[in-house]
Copies of this chain bind each other. A is one copy, B any other.
Amino acid sequence: MTEVEAKKPQESLQDRLAQVVELLHRHKLVEDLTHRQEGQHPDLVENLVHRQNLVELQRKLDDLHSADVAHILEALPLDDRLTVWQLVKVERDGDILLEVSDAVRESLLDDMEDHEILAAAKDMDADELADLASELPRDVVHELMETLDAQQRERVRSALSYEEEQVGALMDFEMVTIREDVSLEVVLRYLRRLKELSGHTDKLFVVDYDGVLKGVLPVKRLLVNDPDKLVSEVMATDPVSFHPDEDAYDAAQAFERYDLISAPVVDKNGKLIGRLTIDEMVDLIREESESEVLNMAGLREEEDIFASVWKSLRNRWAWLAINLITAFLASRVIGLFEDSIEKLVALAALMPIVAGIGGNSGNQTITMIVRAMALDQVSTGNTSRLIRKELGVALINGLVWGGVIGVVAYLLYDSWSLGVVMIAAMTLNLLLAALMGVLIPMTLVRMGRDPALGASVMITAVTDSGGFFIFLGMASVFLL
């Protein structure tokens, strides 16, 4: 992965996107006109304008950093996206494919012939190939592997042998290794013989003859120390290092905590087998927070916002179906009290307030707990203390807001006993929301699941059914 020199962003990304869209629209307008005249003489002038627009668009795209082109592709609807994708120079296809999101990459790959994919992938590094392999046609992967030398092939295989969320799947192999018994002068001369250093080379890796990691030489120490000193005198002997089967998210947190730029990955025997870099970790941090948001809302995965209706449905159906069941259960709870509602129809109007506030409050609790768990601040050990605190918050909220709505209920329906039931039901439902807001994510974690998984749907299910039951039950006992 070579670091491309990015253009100074005098114009914002939004501006560039707007320019591309503008050119696309001009292009399509002309195309429409030309189409309408089919069968007649194709108008030469319009064809010329057409071609000029495309040339201008292509020039615009050539000026942009691959990451910016990737961003523009993500922000375009499918047909425009494919028009732009056709205009991108073939030799940049690989870089751009690596930059776009999974959903968008799928749409681009669908549009490519096997030989195009092959051309795009042929300059990729082993770790990049491994990233893409699962999404490429089987034949193409096979053919690509044939073109690699033995070491590269071994690296791809090794990277593919790890789960997506393991360090091994994210490491690259662009590390510069040196020996500890040479002087810094020798290291400097060695580096000058290399044509270039890969991005994120903030340290060199010191290994022995068996490839076992002895330490790291930060480039900044290489620069400020006397060239006559030996590597062993200057290197750091106890660097933060990772194992390939470690959880990648833990590694990302370590990068964040210790402000790392790159770090060695070693196998069980301490042998250096790769390195992690901050750019991959930043991607991971972003993806992790994204999946938290998506999981809480009951979306299965990130969605290409211009995905087809059908793809969106697949992404959203699972949790909607679960929500349908929970909503049906809540409805049956109400069904139990139909007699009471018939006698006092005000209950029907007031019951959604109890359920709704409970849902909102429960969502606040669960959001906070999920966040704290993601940051490793909560273990199952301090559950009881957290529950006590949340119950305290819920009790006060219940008495205060329940009191407010109780007074309103009294004023509306002229029944002080209805007001009191309202206060009691609100308080009890908020206590239930607090309890479940702590217990649901804790239980999910104990079961080895993501604590955010459908958290919002679940807490709402509890506070709806629970709220209806508590309110209607108390009303039936005390008011009727």
Contact = CB atoms under 8 A, between A and B. Distances in A.
B319 A223 contact: no
Contact of A192 (B223, B286, B372): B223
Nearest to A430: B320
A449 to B, nearest CB: 18
Interface string A215-239: 0000110111110000000001011
A207 interface: no
Main secondary structure of the interface of A (DSSP, over half): helix
A13 B192 contact: no
Interface centre among A188, A202, A241 (most CB of B within 10 A): A202
A304 to B, nearest CB: 9
A9 B240 contact: yes
A181 interface: no
A393 B223 contact: no
A14 B253 CA distance: 12
A316 B195 contact: no
Contacts of A335: 349, 412
A55 interface: no
Contact of A349 (B68, B238, B331, B346): B331
A279 interface: yes
Contacts of A18: 379, 381
Interface stretch (A42-50, A122-130, A154-162, A257-265): A257-265
B188 A5 contact: no
B349 A352 contact: no
A417 interface: no
A241 B199 contact: no
A75 interface: yes
Contacts of A412: 335
Interface of A: 3-9, 12-14, 17-18, 21, 65, 67-68, 71, 74-75, 77, 188, 191-192, 194-197, 199-202, 219-220, 222-226, 236, 238-241, 250, 253-261, 278-279, 281-283, 285-286, 289-290, 292-294, 296-299, 302-303, 305-306, 309, 312-313, 316-317, 319-321, 323-324, 326-328, 330-332, 334-335, 338, 341-342, 345-353, 355-357, 359-361, 363-364, 367-369, 371-372, 375-379, 381-382, 385-386, 389, 392-393, 396-397, 401, 404-405, 408, 412, 456-457, 460, 464, 468
B65 A226 contact: no
A257 B67 contact: yes
Given A200-B259, A290-B289, A464-B352, A401 B324 contact: yes
Contact of A238 (B8, B341, B348): B8
A316 B364 contact: yes
A326 to B, nearest CB: 8
A224 B265 CA distance: 25
B397 A313 contact: yes
A408 B17 CA distance: 48
A309 B379 CA distance: 20
Given A7-B238, A18-B379, A306-B389, 19 more contacts: A8-B240, A12-B250, A18-B381, A67-B258, A71-B376, A71-B377, A75-B376, A199-B220, A202-B261, A281-B282, A309-B396, A313-B396, A316-B361, A323-B356, A327-B353, A331-B353, A338-B346, A341-B341, A352-B464
Given A239-B8, A305-B372, A349-B334, A364 B293 contact: no
Contact of A357 (B222, B294, B324): B324
Nearest to A250: B12
The 9 closest A-B pairs by CB, nearest first: A289-B289, A197-B220, A297-B367, A6-B258, A348-B348, A327-B356, A67-B257, A309-B392, A334-B349
